[in-house]
């Protein structure tokens, strides 16, 4: 079968890497892809928001399955468009992807269907938002309602900082139209976990547990990013927490989306806060997390293609997923200046050396080829991912590979996975 992966980041490189291993796949394309996917698939010069061009290619080349990686084309309705032309596509519809496209919708859904989450308010008026902030106090969380590439969340340590964040968002200076409405939430404490499932709208297959590291600096300091690293499994997700996540978060959400006329098919990602044996939901994403996708797919023993196709056809049936016992750790190497304005076109050294290390795979996220050399071309540049018999071993192997790679101004966290060590 012929498969098209839509996207060009680290998540899509990981999906391409995993799909390429399937004996069912005879031809693999990636649009637009990156230098990493080019070694596994045929890259296409089509951007993720060029839906008509993607449709034309898939239709003319008789693509059997399209797998959509990023949130933008999902929110633009790529699944609806492809399905209206009889094409099979993995991902939620435009109405279902709204669970990520609008944080206000997501919070209202959680409240309506009894999903545990933080107290919140939704605002378009600066004065009303300020009054809510003063009533609630700090620390407090300010979120842009719309899509902001994983960076539309400000954890304000003071009320003044929160007021400034609201002003920046509502004025359009911070996140454009994504911030024309803001969600303000109470600040939750505890330990975060990423809980992902694959669902056909009725049946649900949970993925292995994972934990993301959002902040740019060690110790979860500094501004939030799209993710600076991840590991799997996450010991904070015990059997009890797993059961609570399924029963209190995932099941009522999937049922609620169906009841709202937005049946959900694809990957549903719940960002959880775990404290004192209880879970609360921070957010939902309508796709694989990035960088959680990288360690999860490294650990996935099963062929992913039959599961993706079953969801695209609307029935998971008896499909399940097997996992390797090993742990996996992904360390994101980012460009100087990220998550703000960052450098580009710096030559990346050491990729071949890192690739020779056993149980390591380097996923490309923001790279390009210039004059025959691999160069930086994004904020998050690489996701160096390693397997190990334990989280500790996976951490050591991943950072051994990170030490092989360099470019001017490279930055990365040195503590990815460390939270797991006190629990194992």
Which SS3 state, helix, strand or coil, does residue 56 take?
A: helix
> For residues 31-55, b (16+ Cβ closer than 10 Å) or e, as one string?
bbbbbbbeebbebbebebebbeebb
CA dist 2 and 236 (Å) reads 39
CA distances, 101 to each of 4, 90, 195, 269, 333 (Å): 23, 18, 19, 13, 27
- In 3D space, the residue among 67, 22, 2 whose CA is nearest the CA of residue 302 turns out to be 22
- The pLDDT score that the predictor gives to residue 18 is 98
- In 3D space, the residue among 1, 87, 60, 19 whose CA is nearest the CA of residue 288 turns out to be 19
- The pLDDT score that the predictor gives to residue 233 is 97
- The pLDDT score that the predictor gives to residue 424 is 55
- The pLDDT score that the predictor gives to residue 152 is 81
Q: What is the pTM of this model?
A: 0.94
Both ends of the chain: CA-CA distance in Å? 42
Greatest distance between any 2 Cα atoms in the chain = 60
Residue 292 corresponds to which tokens in the numbers above?
């959680």
Query: At residue 273, what are phi and psi to the nearest 5 degrees?
Result: -115, 125
- The pLDDT score that the predictor gives to residue 151 is 66
Show the domains of the chain with their CATH numbers: 2-91 (3.40.50.20), 125-180 (3.30.1490.20), 191-312 (3.30.470.20), 327-421 (3.90.600.10)
- The pLDDT score that the predictor gives to residue 153 is 87
CA distances, 336 to each of 152, 382, 404 (Å): 20, 13, 18
- The pLDDT score that the predictor gives to residue 280 is 98
Per-position pLDDT tens, the chain of length 424: 999 999 999 999 999 999 999 999 999 999 999 999 999 999 999 999 999 999 999 999 999 999 999 999 999 999 999 999 999 999 999 999 999 999 999 999 999 999 999 999 999 988 999 999 999 999 999 998 888 766 688 899 999 999 999 988 888 766 777 668 899 999 999 999 999 999 999 999 999 999 999 999 999 999 889 999 999 999 999 999 999 999 999 999 999 999 999 999 999 999 999 999 999 999 999 999 999 999 999 999 999 999 999 999 999 999 999 999 999 999 999 999 999 999 999 999 999 999 999 999 999 999 999 999 999 999 999 999 999 999 999 999 999 999 999 999 999 999 999 999 876 5
Residue 381 corresponds to which tokens in the numbers above?
């540049």
Residue 168 parent element (H or E): helix 159-170
């Amino acid at each position: 079968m012929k498969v098209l992966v839509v996207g060009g980041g680290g998540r899509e490189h990981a999906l391409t890497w995993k799909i390429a291993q399937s004996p069912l796949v005879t031809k693999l394309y990636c649009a637009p892809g990156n230098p990493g996917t080019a070694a596994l698939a045929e890259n296409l010069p089509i951007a993720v928001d060029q839906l008509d061009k993607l449709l034309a290619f898939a239709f003319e080349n008789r693509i059997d399955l399209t797998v959509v990686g990023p949130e933008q084309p999902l929110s633009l309705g790529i699944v609806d468009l492809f399905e209206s032309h009889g094409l099979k596509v993995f991902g939620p519809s435009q109405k279902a992807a709204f669970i990520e496209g609008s944080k206000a919708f997501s919070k209202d859904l959680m409240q309506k269907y009894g999903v545990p989450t933080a107290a919140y308010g939704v605002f378009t008026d600066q004065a009303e938002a300020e009054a809510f902030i003063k009533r609630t106090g700090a620390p407090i969380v300010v979120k842009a309602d719309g899509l902001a590439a994983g960076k539309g969340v400000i954890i304000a340590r003071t009320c003044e900082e929160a007021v400034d964040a609201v002003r920046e968002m509502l004025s359009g200076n911070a996140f454009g139209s994504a911030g024309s409405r803001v969600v303000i939430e109470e600040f939750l404490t505890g330990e975060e976990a990423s809980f992902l499932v694959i669902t056909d709208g009725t049946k649900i297959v949970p993925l292995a547990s994972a934990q993301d590291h959002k902040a740019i600096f060690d110790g979860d300091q500094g501004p939030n990013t799209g993710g600076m690293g991840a590991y799997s499994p996450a010991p904070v997700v015990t059997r009890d927490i797993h059961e609570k996540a399924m029963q209190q978060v995932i099941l009522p959400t999937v049922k609620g989306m169906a009841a709202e006329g937005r049946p959900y098919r694809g990957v549903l990602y719940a960002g959880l806060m775990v404290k004192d044996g209880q879970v609360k939901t921070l957010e939902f994403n309508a796709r694989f997390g990035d960088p959680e996708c990288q360690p999860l797919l490294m650990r996935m023993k099963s062929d992913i293609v039959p599961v993706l196709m079953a969801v695209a056809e609307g029935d998971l049936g008896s499909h399940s997923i097997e996992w390797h016992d090993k742990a996996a750790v992904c360390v994101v190497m980012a460009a100087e200046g990220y998550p703000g304005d960052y450098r580009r076109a710096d030559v990346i050294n050491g990729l071949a050396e890192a690739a020779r290390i056993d149980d390591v795979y380097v996923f490309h996220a923001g790279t390009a080829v210039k004059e025959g050399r691999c160069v930086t071309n994004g904020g998050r540049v690489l996701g160096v991912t390693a397997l190990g018999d334990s989280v500790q071993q996976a951490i050591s192997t991943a950072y051994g590979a990170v030490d092989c790679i360099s470019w001017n101004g490279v930055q990365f966290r040195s503590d990815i996975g460390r939270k797991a060590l006190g629990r194992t």
